[in-house]
Structure 1
Amino acid sequence: MRLDKFLKVSRLIKRRTLAKEVADQGRIKINGLVAKASSTVAVGDEMTIRFGNKIVTVQIDSIKEHAKKEEASDMYQIIREEKVNSEESM
């Protein structure tokens, strides 16, 4: 599944267009490599997302084309959440 679609379906990022923008800015890594919106994600991948001054690392547990709000958080597991200074980068 495409990265931008996974982020929307899993509700890590609410809109697909916003997910594409974040990816195009180089703020998402999959298994340590900078990912584009069109990158493919798979079960077991480790994804790091930078949200402003917070970095969230998740492991992808399942991939679904559609997920209800209650099921969305079952698609991933948060491994690490850390706050960073605005001067630091990923």
Structure 2
Amino acid sequence: MRVDKYLWCIRYFKTRSIATNACKKGQVKVNDAVAKPSRDVYPTDKISVRKNQILYTLEIMDLPESRLGAKLVDMYRKDTTPKENLEKLELLKYSKDYYRKKGTGRPTKKDRRNIDEIYENDDFFTDSKDSEEE
């Protein structure tokens, strides 16, 4: 089975063309050698995939007939990715800006509620209104 098709079948990539492009860019290695998309893979081969700044390593257990459901993937591959790489993934999630960049578009409902909460709880605005009335 082709390496791009295998990676698509075991759900490492959403589409086969994305898997093919990753192979062409040199982000996929089979047995420590850069693999072209058409490279055949066999059971016991070791694949390294660089995706989202993380280096995933896996070993092929068996070749699937077609694309699998997420629950069946573990029957066809053994994930040997080091824990340090997975911890980097968690750090990347926290480092990204959760919301859109400042000044781009209207506030979301959540943003609006937060703004309203700030105005309700801020003493500065309530003190200025009280001093105007006196």
Q: Normalization by structure 2: what TM-score?
A: 0.58
1:73 and 2:62 aligned:
no
Q: Which has the higher helix share?
A: 2
Identify unmatched segments of 5+ residues in structure 2: 89-134
Query: Between Structure 1 and Structure 2, how many residues are aligned?
Result: 84
- 2:26 aligns with 26
What percentage of aligned pairs have identical amino acids? 28
DSSP 3-state at the match of 1:72: helix
DSSP 3-state at the match of 1:17: helix
Contact 1:7 1:14 in 2 (8 A): no
Q: Whose Rg is larger?
A: 2
- 1:7 aligns with 7
Large movers: runs of 4+ above 4 Å = none
Q: Normalization by structure 1: what TM-score?
A: 0.85
Q: Which has the higher strand share?
A: 1
Identify unmatched segments of 5+ residues in structure 1: 84-90
The one-letter amino acid paired with 1:78 is: D
Alpha-carbon RMSD across the aligned residues, in angstroms, is 1.6
